[in-house]
Structure 1
Amino acid sequence: MNRIGKILPVEGYYVVLKETLPVDYAKSLTHLYQPLIGIQAVTLYQTLLHEIELQLNKSEPQTHHTLMNYLNLPLDEIYSARLKLEAIGMLKTFKRSEGSNNVFTYELQQLFSPAHFFKDPMLSQLLYHHIGNDKFQFLKQHFTPSPNESFGVNITATFQDVFETVTPSYQQENMDVEEAELDMLDVDFSWMEHALKQRMIPIRKVLTTQNRKLISQMMFLYNLESHDIEKSVLWALTEENCLNTEEFKAACHDVFKQKYRGNNIRLSAKTSQMKNATSKSKQPLTKEEQLIEQLETISPRQLLEDLSSGNHASEQDLRLIRDIMTSQGLPSPVMNVLIHYVLLQSNMKLSKAYVEKIASHWSRANLQTAKEAMAFAKKEKDSYQKVKKTNSSYGVRNKKEVIPDWFKEQKKKQLQATATKEEEIDEAKEQRELEELLRQYSSNNK
Structure 2
Amino acid sequence: MQYFSGLRPADRFVVTTNYVATHLTDEILKRLYIPLIGLESIAVYQYLSQFLEKGQVSDEVTHYIVMNELKMNLSHFEQLRFRLEGIGLMKSFMKVTDEAQHFVYKLISPVMPDQFFNDPMLSVYLFQTVGKERFNQLKRHFCTERFDVTGYKEISKNYIDIYGTPKTPPAAVYDGNDHLIKTRASLGIPVHQQTFDFEMLEMLLAQNMITKDQLTKEVRELIAQLALLYDIAPTDMRRIILKSLTSNQTISHEDLRRNARDFYQFEHAGNLPALTLAAEEPVTNEKTWFEMLDTTSPIEMLASFSQSEPTVKQKRMIESILEREKLPFGVMNILLQYVLLTSEMKLPQSYIEEIASNWKKLKLSSSEEAYHHAMKVEQNRKTRQTKQREKASYEKTPDWVSQQETPQQTQTPDLEEEKRKLEEELKNFWKEDEA
Given the two structures, how large is their TM-score scaled by the length of structure 1? 0.49
Higher helix share: 1
Given the two structures, how large is their TM-score scaled by the length of structure 2? 0.50
